Amino acid sequence: MTAPFSPRNRKVRVLATLGPASNTPEMIRKLYVAGADAFRINMSHGSHEGHARVIAAIRELEKELGRAMTILVDLQGPKLRVGRFAGGSVMLETGKPFLLDRDKAPGDENRVNLPHPEIFEALEPGTRLLLDDGKLCLRVQSVAKDRIETLVETGGKLSDNKGLNVPDVIVPMAALTEKDRKDLSFALEQGADWIALSFVQRAEDVAEARRLIGGKAALLAKIEKPSAIERLDGILELADAVMVARGDLGVELPPEAVPPLQKRIVESARRLGRPVVVATQMLESMITAPTPTRAEVSDVANAIYDGADAVMLSAESAAGAWPVESVAMMNKIATAVESDPGYAERIHFTETLPDPTTADALAEASGNIAATVSAAAIICFTMSGSTARRVARERPSVPLMTLTPQLSTARRLGLLWGVHAVHTRDVGSFEEMVAKAKRIALRHGMAKAGDRVILMAGVPFGTPGSTNVLHVVRLSGDELKGHR
């Protein structure tokens, strides 16, 4: 039997994207050892066969370590692109007119095909169109059924099939394309724990994805469009978690608008008890360099001080030259921030008021009691993970261990701040719960003989969402005798 998994010495989670630089079993193991708590698979790249091999490797590592591993599958979402040019690219001159039309003929410096009829219906004069990750900007002058006349506000080189962003209006497009639906079916068949939904514009996009997922995985909504910011509360109500996807958000909004929006999204998610991931360009320079810039370190630290549940690596771990070093650096930054005496005060700057329920009242009380009696840990028994989410929302000062008979629950909790999830057999009585909690706390190094721990559960057992017991116990050290 594998030795018990030791908890991390930090509470924020590290989400590492896997790709060509890191998708072998050996590299996945190295990333985990370096500090990765969860793994992201980006469906914008690669094949189903390749992704299936990566998922199988993660599950093999899970068996080897006896530790529930978290897999997030990120759907590509609708990608808007212009057509092709006769010469492969053109130079658009600032101040000159440029036409987007339905003609499939190769484009030139005056026009190009736009193969997205839904955009023609959504635009109006004055709307901005951003090309090639925001490097070029067109201003709509007039719109007809098959042509959009624009003026080039920011010119430059435009090549075949470059991306198009429409920041000023809601485009009447489903958040799930046909490719996304196939990728979603694949991800659910493979047992993905989280599904990330890209380019969410409204709560209805989340509702549609939830219907298709059917409870087989948790749903994370990526906030990367201005329209999603305007409808943030509705999206948060329906999503299981959110991601501050700063890449496209920074394309469609001025760069200086992104930091305050990041803080707003993190704060809103924390108030509702939704896990929140901060992503994109966090250690960007480590794609090619073995160390980050000081500004990047400060950026990661800021997200952790704000109380984000997880920080994410994208190309740094997926395609960069230093994937293991990137994860290790993220781990070092998180550990340093959480060692700061001022960290606890900063993460409690966001007020998280409990709902008027027994479960929320006990979750809020657990942190206060832990501090008062100097408890070593809070231990939650849960079926669905809701108790752990409630406690984690309060950002307690002590470690949080979650015991669950549901392997799927243990896996999903890997994105949650401070949670050390353990998959274990169910219990049938209060006494059995207490004995098991003591044994596992000692075995996993969450507490030692003489320590107090706080137990939370719902009685009768096996009823999701019924947390109604908070119990303080002291460990004697004898709990492990006769047990393996």
The catalytic site residues sit at 40, 81, 222, 280
Dihedral angle over CA of 361, 364, 369, 375, nearest 10: 130
CA 416 to chain centre: 10
- DSSP lists the bridge partners of residue 458 as 467
Take residue 369 and report the two structure tokens written for it: 């009691």
**CA 422 to CA 315: how far, in whole Å?**
30
- The answer to whether the CB of 407 falls within 8 A of the CB of 430 is no
Q: What b/e string do you get for 271-287 counting C-beta neighbours within 10 Å, with b at 16 or more? A: eebbbbbbbbebbbbbb
Is the N-terminal amide bond of 354 cis, ω within 30° of 0?
Answer: no
C-alpha dist (Å) from residue 293 to 296, 301, 377: 5, 13, 36
**CA 16 to CA 36: how far, in whole Å?**
6
Query: Is 441 buried (19+), middle (13-18) or exposed (0-12) by CB count in 10 A?
Result: buried
Residue 296: phi and psi, rounded to 5, are -65, -40
Which DSSP symbol is given to 85? B
Take residue 93 and report the two structure tokens written for it: 């001159």
- The answer to whether the CB of 202 falls within 8 A of the CB of 227 is yes
- DSSP lists the bridge partners of residue 470 as 456
Beta strands in 224-289 (DSSP E): 241-245, 276-279
77 φ/ψ sector (left φ>0, alpha ψ -120 to 50, else beta)? left
Q: In a 3-state reduction of DSSP, which class is residue 107?
A: strand
- The answer to whether the CB of 198 falls within 8 A of the CB of 167 is no
Take residue 322 and report the two structure tokens written for it: 């230093």
Take residue 113 and report the two structure tokens written for it: 């095909």
Take residue 106 and report the two structure tokens written for it: 């190769």
Beta strands in 12-166 (DSSP E): 13-18, 38-42, 70-74, 89-92, 97-101, 111-113, 128-131, 136-143, 147-154, 156-159, 164-165
**CA 464 to CA 62: how far, in whole Å?**
25
Residue with tokens 């658009």: 92
- Give the up-direction half-sphere exposure of residue 245: CA atoms within 13 A in the CB hemisphere: 22
* Closest C-alpha to 307, from 9, 20, 11, 27: 11
Take residue 223 and report the two structure tokens written for it: 């906030």
**CA 245 to CA 279: how far, in whole Å?**
5
